[in-house]
Amino acid sequence: MSSTFFTASPQWRWFIVAYFFLGGLAGGSYFLATLLDRFGTERDRPLVRLGYLVAFPIVCLCGLVLTVDLGRSERFWHMLVQSETFRPMLKTYSPMSSGAWVILLFSGCAFVSFAGAVAARGWPRWALLRHASPEAPFGRLVSGLGAILGLYLAGYTGVLLSVTNRPIWADTTLLGLTFLISAASTSAALLILLGSWSGLSRDHLHPLERFDRSALILEALTIVALVASLGRIATVWLDGWGVLLAGMLLGGIALPLLLEWRQPDTNRPVWVAPTLVLLGGLVLRMVIVLSTDRL
Amino acid sequence: MAEPMGFYTDTTVCIGCKACEVACKEWNQLPARNGGVGVLSGDSYDNTRALDGTHWRHVKFIEQFSTDRQDGRWLMMSDVCKHCAHAGCLEVCPTGAIIRTEFDTVVIQSDTCNGCRDCIGACPFGVIGVNPVSGTAQKCTLCYDRMKVGLEPACAKACPTKSINFGPIADLKQMARGRVGQLHEAGEGRAYLYGADETMLGGLNSFYLLVDKPEVYGLPPDPRLPSRNLKRSALWSTLGAVALAIMGVFHFRERGGRPGRREGDDV
């Protein structure tokens, strides 16, 4: 029996599941918006703005759920500042410590890009906000940095789980990769969904749909590799959690891929596949976080 | 720095009286579970069940009997934080609440801890839990307050059979090795020390004399630091990030069939 089965559960539950999901969406949306900004066309501009508009509110929500989950919420700042000396508190080898700083820095970048995206709509007409635009040198610098931090935010949560001694989490080193790829697929799905709701045509959404298909294939391969890397320990999922994971693979990855590939240009509602992908991303985190609670 | 101090627990002389549990609870003013209403576990005489934020000592009862109960033995062990030389909890704590003291013990400062619970999952022995009264992670402090004034920890003081021995680590190791030799001479060849050498997390400052496999006592056979996974996890994630960036560039860059490219952009 693996030594990880002799440990106690930190009882990270729904708030943490929500944080892992939302953190992936915030970081992933920002990353995709920046990529579309740098490598896309003028037609992609609405999607770029959308990515920056959603990333900031979502990362604010992340901070909120994380703070609420603490046993002593009023001490959330102890993650960043030493409570006795008021010096910065950072342990580069502790994913939770570095993650707290990344959330803070990413929030700053997300706020600047959010302000730039709001200003691009024509209001408010503050001169300062012009610098926040991704087209301005300062905004460009911030969005480049934010994209890297966004990827970190999307993936470090899995690394954080692996850097424990809990069963499943510490028995593989692929959780960070899995969460990162899943964050990319769910973020693309979110932008497709919001883009279609805001009236963007299929042609506008096409690059994201293509990206999402590739991300979903990569995600399926990563999950298979994750289960394989667990070896015999994966047998703990021979229960309801395993059924849920299999359901996620079928409903959250295979079915959306099938829907996209079989009839990509019909009048089928755009929201079906991205909604399934988003639900799949949530279920994936549920299974990984909650299934170890009783082990 | 003062001399490293710790516990050596000789499980062969533990009688399961739980005096250590009571002394620990009383000295550290730890609250009762469930408002003091006892609920029997059904697991031998063990109604404490596990170490956690309000139980910093836990006496384990292991019944090893043949099916006809003609042959058998009791194993009893007073479990506690191991105060590892390389401590997983201390490694991951993001607030700096977990510190190593001048006695080489590991202590959680309750006024700094914010209850993130990362240390609970990082501890290879499942020692730490949240104290619902303080809302923070807590565990044995090896009675740091008592040690500061030259007193031995409450549990060791209360132990009536000297199963729990407190003192300088070097002295304890010498004592423990002598006891193992004595048991071997007496015919108990299964006796060995768990965590006394540096191969296990740099050495446990609370180590045990056992007469069966660690798993039988609920101890991990191969406890390791959580950071063992850090580099490889980070590497896989970085490779994933690079793959996503390449995928994004491939799908988003100007392709032949997509009109509306920005003026002046290069293909």
DSSP sequence for B247-263 = HHHHHHS--TT---PPT
Residue from B116, B119, B261, B267 to probe the interface with A (highest A Cβ count within 10 Å): B116
Share of chain A above pLDDT 90, in %: 86
- State residue B265's pLDDT score: 43
Give the strand pairing for B136-138 and B98-100: unpaired
CA distance B134 to chain A (A): 8
Q: Do A222 and B243 touch (CB under 8 A)?
A: no
Q: Which residues are bridge partners to B73 per DSSP?
A: B64
Q: Are residues B232 and B152 in the same domain?
A: no
Q: Do B261 and A164 touch (CB under 8 A)?
A: no
Residue with tokens 């200003």: A119
Interface of B with A in 63-102 (CB under 8 A): 88, 91-97
| Secondary structure (DSSP) of chain A | --GGGGS------HHHHHHHHHHHHHHHHHHHHHHHHHHS-GGGHHHHHHHHHHHHHHHHHHHHHHHHHSTTGGGGGGGTB-TTT--B---TT-HHHHHHHHHHHHHHHHHHHHHHHHHTTT-S--HHHHTTSTTSHHHHHHHHHHHHHHHHHHHHHHHHHHSS--TTGGG-S-HHHHHHHHHHHHHHHHHHHHHHHTT--HHHHHHHHHHHHHHHHHHHHHHHHHHHHHGGGGGGGSSHHHHHHHHIIIIIIIHHHHHHHH-TTSSS-TTHHHHHHHHHHHHHHHHHHHTTTT-
CA atoms of A118 and A34, how far apart (whole Å): 16
Q: Are residues B164 and B141 in the same domain?
A: yes
DSSP state of B146: H
What sections of chain B are H helices per DSSP? 19-27, 88-92, 118-122, 144-148, 154-158, 169-185, 230-252
- State residue A124's pLDDT score: 79
Write the ipTM: 0.96
Q: Are residues B188 and B248 in the same domain?
A: no
Q: Which of A6, A9, A36 lies at the smallest CB-CB distance from B125?
A: A6
Residue from B109, B133, B236, B266 to probe the interface with A (highest A Cβ count within 10 Å): B236
Contact B146, B154 (CB under 8 A): yes
- State residue B37's pLDDT score: 85
Could you tell me which of B76, B16, B98, B26 has the C-alpha nearest to residue B55? B26
Residue B260 placed within a domain: no
Residue A264 binned pLDDT confidence (cut-offs 50, 70, 90): low
CA distance B72 to chain A (A): 25
- Mean pLDDT for chain A? 95
Cis geometry, peptide bond prior to residue B132 (ω within 30 degrees of 0): no
Q: Are residues B241 and B216 in the same domain?
A: no
Residue B267 placed within a domain: no
- State residue B220's pLDDT score: 98
CA distance A216 to chain B (A): 11
Domains of chain A are: 3-290 (1.20.1630.10)
- State residue B256's pLDDT score: 45
Alpha-carbon Rg for chain A in angstroms: 20
Q: Which of A39, A173, A215 lies at the smallest CB-CB distance from B232?
A: A173
Q: Are residues B215 and B230 in the same domain?
A: no
Q: Are residues B123 and B176 in the same domain?
A: yes
Contact B33, B47 (CB under 8 A): no
Q: Which of A171-185, A261-275, B32-46, B221-235 has the lowest mean pLDDT?
A: A261-275
Q: Are residues B109 and B167 in the same domain?
A: yes
CATH number, domain with residue B27: 3.30.70.20
Residues contacting B266, CB < 8 A, separation 6+? none
- State residue B266's pLDDT score: 40
CA atoms of B244 and B182, how far apart (whole Å): 63
Residue B264 placed within a domain: no
Confirm or reject contact between B122 and chain A (CB < 8 A): yes
B202: region left, alpha or beta (phi > 0 left; psi from -120 to 50 alpha): left
The upper half-sphere exposure of residue A114, i.e. CA atoms within 13 Å in the direction of its Cβ, equals: 16
- State residue B1's pLDDT score: 67
Contact A37, A143 (CB under 8 A): yes
Contact A134, A38 (CB under 8 A): no
Residue A119 corresponds to which tokens in the numbers above?
Answer: 């200003």
Residue B22 corresponds to which tokens in the numbers above?
Answer: 């009571």
Mean pLDDT for A87-116 is 97
Q: Are residues B46 and B141 in the same domain?
A: yes
Residues contacting A211, CB < 8 A, separation 6+? A32, A184, A188, B247, B248, B251, B252
Chain B residues whose CB is inside 8 A of the A69 CB are 116
- State residue A265's pLDDT score: 58
Residue A159 corresponds to which tokens in the numbers above?
Answer: 């690394």
- State residue B2's pLDDT score: 83
Q: Which of B121, B130, B251 lies at the smallest CB-CB distance from A210?
A: B251
Residue from B252, B263, B266 to probe the interface with A (highest A Cβ count within 10 Å): B252
Contact A57, A63 (CB under 8 A): no
- State residue B259's pLDDT score: 46
Residue B238 placed within a domain: yes
Q: Which of A7, A75, A222 lies at the smallest CB-CB distance from B121?
A: A7
pLDDT single digits (tens) A27-46: 999 999 999 999 999 999 99
CA atoms of A119 and A65, how far apart (whole Å): 28
Residue A136 corresponds to which tokens in the numbers above?
Answer: 């301005």
Residues contacting B256, CB < 8 A, separation 6+? none
Q: Do B244 and A180 touch (CB under 8 A)?
A: yes
Residue B205 placed within a domain: yes
Contact A31, A85 (CB under 8 A): no
Q: Are residues B246 and B216 in the same domain?
A: no
pLDDT single digits (tens) A110-157: 999 999 999 888 777 787 888 888 888 999 999 999 999 999 999 999
Q: Which of B114, B223, B227 lies at the smallest CB-CB distance from A163?
A: B227
Could you tell me which of A65, A28, A282 has the C-alpha nearest to residue A154? A28
Interface of A with B in 180-239 (CB under 8 A): 180-181, 184, 203, 206-208, 210-211, 214-215, 218, 222
The upper half-sphere exposure of residue A139, i.e. CA atoms within 13 Å in the direction of its Cβ, equals: 26
- State residue A263's pLDDT score: 60
Q: Indicate the number of domains in chain B.
A: 2
Could you tell me which of A269, A293, A274 has the C-alpha nearest to residue A17? A293
- The boundaries of the domain holding residue B83 are 5-222
CA atoms of B265 and B248, how far apart (whole Å): 18
Residue with tokens 């690079």: B242
* Burial environment of residue A103 by CB neighbours within 10 A (0 to 12, 13 to 18, 19 or more): buried
Q: Which of B136, B218, B240 lies at the smallest CB-CB distance from A72?
A: B136
CA atoms of A274 and A96, how far apart (whole Å): 30
> How open is the CA angle A46-A253-B240, to the nearest 5 degrees?
70
Q: Are residues B240 and B148 in the same domain?
A: no
Interface of A with B in 132-151 (CB under 8 A): 151
Q: Do A176 and B240 touch (CB under 8 A)?
A: yes
Q: Are residues B88 and B20 in the same domain?
A: yes
Q: Do A164 and B118 touch (CB under 8 A)?
A: yes
**Percent helix, percent strand, percent coil in chain B, to nearest 5:** 30, 20, 50
pLDDT by 10s per residue, chain B, length 267: 689 999 999 999 999 999 999 999 999 999 988 888 888 999 999 999 999 999 999 999 999 999 998 999 999 999 999 999 999 999 999 999 999 999 999 999 999 999 999 999 999 999 999 999 999 999 999 999 999 999 999 999 999 999 999 999 999 999 999 999 999 999 999 999 999 999 999 999 999 999 999 999 999 999 999 999 999 999 999 999 999 999 999 999 865 445 444 444 443
Q: Are residues B103 and B159 in the same domain?
A: yes
Interface of B with A in 169-228 (CB under 8 A): 215, 218-224, 226-227
Residue B39 placed within a domain: yes
Contact B140, B57 (CB under 8 A): yes
Q: Which of A115-119, A188-192, A260-264, B27-31 has the lowest mean pLDDT?
A: A260-264
